């Protein structure tokens, strides 16, 4: 099943067909591989082909896991115990046969930036069997002191308001911050300082270097009416278009979505806390309540395998059910 | 015959309960008769946050009036004026924020977490 955007009337990167496909995946998990911008996907039914496919991925040069939107401190109907579901996610990560090289947390660690919420999150995340955890902030993490507390806890050795890059086994990772200094009426924002830094950061990289960008709010226009996009993301992507393989990993919208645009693949992860409605299907993007016995089927983590040489990145979303 | 008697007894109990004040007809949590002029005045200086929207989106008030915002959403919001005159802490569900407007003018504001949410206060 090749997913190509055929109609894009709203210029939001989603046609109706593609959108329904994305939604069909929620709750089942999806594996997709990227070869030179052509995307192949396979829906993974619970207890189905997942195990077989995962064994195919053993040849990967390395793997990492994206985890997002833990919202520690949230205690409303949609999930009265977000600490427990974060713990389940970490248990899943720890049960993998091959531990990931590291974790990426794409923001909204906490609900209200309270020290106690960050303490709880750090305590649970510390139990993950992974070399390191890299973070970018969500808008819920920078509610006090212009994000200083976030920087002290999760963003040491970063630039500006928390952006940075690092290299891992031949791939270049870039963590961006698009939740600070948001303008009235606008969307997510990177800002001129960060854009300048990004341009310089990638200037001397070979175009064959695989680039993986991660940030909280989607760096593509998922649904601007709900603020699901970033105002100046096009400028950032402009600096990355020359690269043969760019993967963009985001959170914020608590559901799986993906889009391929040339050599750039966009992907959003599930939350470990609560689901949010599909664009336009509810009066607001607020937390979506599902029956308690179904909650874990709409929460999840994202497993990413990188195979060097093939420029191939395999992304597997799996739920906590 | 027995059935009719039972209904009568039930009706009598309900009537007695009303008479004794055990049951009060209410709108929301307030008794109907309690909604006096003072309360109406207060509500005209209130902005509700529901479903990621401010209501009303434009509110006209006299100089010196105090506006109170109340968050009715399951997610926090932060109220911030475009000109940085006022900014609330993160308001969790049912939290309130108040600000007194001492000079005439139009004050545009938004949610610093969800900047698509915009509204204004007109002070005359």
Q: What is the pLDDT of residues A31-48, one digit of tens each?
A: 444 343 333 444 444 444
Which residues of B are less than 8 Å from A184 in CB distance? Answer: 82, 108-110, 115, 118
Tokens representing residue A208 in the block: 């064959």
Averaged pLDDT score across all residues of chain A: 85
Flag whether pLDDT at A28 surpasses 70. Answer: no
B17 and B4 share one domain? yes
Subunit contact A184:B113, Cβ cutoff 8 A: no
Which residues of B are less than 8 Å from A76 in CB distance? Answer: 74, 93
Helix axes A82-94, A115-125, angle to 10 degrees: 20
B57 and B6 share one domain? no
| B61 to chain A, closest Cα gap in Å | 22
Rounded to two decimals, the ipTM of the complex is 0.82
Flag whether pLDDT at A173 surpasses 80. Answer: yes
Flag whether pLDDT at A6 surpasses 90. Answer: no
B69 and B109 share one domain? yes
B61 and B110 share one domain? yes
B105 and B93 share one domain? yes
Is the minimum CB–CB distance between A112 and chain B shorter than 8 Å?
yes
In this predicted model, what pLDDT tens digit does every residue of B44-62 receive, in sequence order? 899 999 999 999 999 999 9
CA distance A120 to A111: 12
B25 and B65 share one domain? no
More confident call, A59 vs B114:
B114
Please tell me the pTM assigned to this model. Answer: 0.80
Q: What pLDDT, on the 0 to 100 scale, is given for residue A52?
A: 46
In this predicted model, what pLDDT tens digit does every residue of A109-118 receive, in sequence order? 999 999 999 9
Q: What pLDDT, on the 0 to 100 scale, is given for residue B43?
A: 54
B28 and B74 share one domain? no
In this structure, how many other beta carbons lie within 10 angstroms of the beta carbon of residue B5? 9
Contact in structure between A94 and A127 (CB atoms under 8 Å): yes
Q: How many domains does chain B have?
A: 2
CATH fold of A24-319 reads Purple Acid Phosphatase; chain A, domain 2 (3.60.21)
Subunit contact A184:B118, Cβ cutoff 8 A: yes
Which residues of A are less than 8 Å from B91 in CB distance? Answer: none
β-pairing, A164-168 vs A62-67, is unpaired
Is the minimum CB–CB distance between A140 and chain B shorter than 8 Å?
yes
| B62: helix, strand or coil | coil
In this predicted model, what pLDDT tens digit does every residue of A193-247 receive, in sequence order? 999 999 999 999 999 999 999 999 999 999 999 999 999 999 999 999 999 999 9
- CATH number, position B99: 2.60.40.420
Contact in structure between B121 and B101 (CB atoms under 8 Å): yes
Q: What pLDDT, on the 0 to 100 scale, is given for residue A312?
A: 63
The parent domain of residue B7 ranges over 1-35
| A190 to chain B, closest Cα gap in Å | 14
Q: pLDDT grade, residue B12 (50/70/90)?
A: very low
Is the minimum CB–CB distance between A286 and chain B shorter than 8 Å?
yes
B26 and B51 share one domain? no
B87 and B50 share one domain? yes
Distances (CA, A) of A100 to A56, A303, B61: 16, 8, 58
User: Can you give the residue ranges of every domain in chain A?
Assistant: 24-319
User: Across residues B94-99, what is the average pLDDT?
Assistant: 98
């Amino acid at each position: 099943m090749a997913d190509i955007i055929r109609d894009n009337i709203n210029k939001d990167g989603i046609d109706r067909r593609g959108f329904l496909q994305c939604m069909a995946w929620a709750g089942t998990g999806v594996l997709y591989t990227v070869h030179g911008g052509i995307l192949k996907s396979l829906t993974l039914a619970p207890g189905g082909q997942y195990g077989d496919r995962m064994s195919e991925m053993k040849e990967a040069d390395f793997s990492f896991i994206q985890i997002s939107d833990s919202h520690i401190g949230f205690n409303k109907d949609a999930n009265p115990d977000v600490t427990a579901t974060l713990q389940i996610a970490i248990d899943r990560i720890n049960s993998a046969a091959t531990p990931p090289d590291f974790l990426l947390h794409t923001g909204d660690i906490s609900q209200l930036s309270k020290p106690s919420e960050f303490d709880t999150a750090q305590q649970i995340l510390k139990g993950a069997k992974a070399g390191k955890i890299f973070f970018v902030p969500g808008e819920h993490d920078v509610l006090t002191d212009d994000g200083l507390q976030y920087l002290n806890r999760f963003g040491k050795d970063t630039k500006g308001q928390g952006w940075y890059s690092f290299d891992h086994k031949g791939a270049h990772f870039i963590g961006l911050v698009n939740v600070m200094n948001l303008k009235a009426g606008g969307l997510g924002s990177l800002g001129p300082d960060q854009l300048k830094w990004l341009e310089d950061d990638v200037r001397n990289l070979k175009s064959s270097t695989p680039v993986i960008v991660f940030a909280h709010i989607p760096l593509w226009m998922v649904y601007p009416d709900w603020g699901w996009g970033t105002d100046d993301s096009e400028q950032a992507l402009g600096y990355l278009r020359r690269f043969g393989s760019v993967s963009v990993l985001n959170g914020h919208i608590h559901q799986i979505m993906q889009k391929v645009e040339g050599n750039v693949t966009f992907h959003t992860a599930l939350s470990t806390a609560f689901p949010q409605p599909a664009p336009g299907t509810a009066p607001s993007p607020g937390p979506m309540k599902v029956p308690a016995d179904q909650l874990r089927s709409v929460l999840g983590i994202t497993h990413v395998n990188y195979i060097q040489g093939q420029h191939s990145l395999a992304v597997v979303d799996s739920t906590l059910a | 015959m027995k059935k009719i008697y039972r209904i009568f007894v039930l009706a009598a109990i309900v009537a007695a309960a009303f008479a004794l004040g055990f049951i009060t007809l209410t709108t929301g949590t307030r008794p109907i008769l309690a909604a006096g002029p003072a309360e109406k005045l207060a509500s005209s200086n209130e902005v509700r946050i529901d479903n990621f929207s401010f209501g009303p989106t434009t509110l006209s008030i006299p100089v010196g009036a105090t506006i109170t915002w109340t968050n009715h959403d399951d997610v926090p919001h932060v109220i911030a004026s475009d000109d940085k005159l006022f900014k609330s802490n993160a308001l969790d569900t049912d939290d309130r924020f108040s600000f007194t407007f001492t000079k005439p003018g139009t004050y545009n504001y938004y949610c610093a977490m969800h900047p698509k949410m915009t509204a204004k206060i007109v002070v005359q």
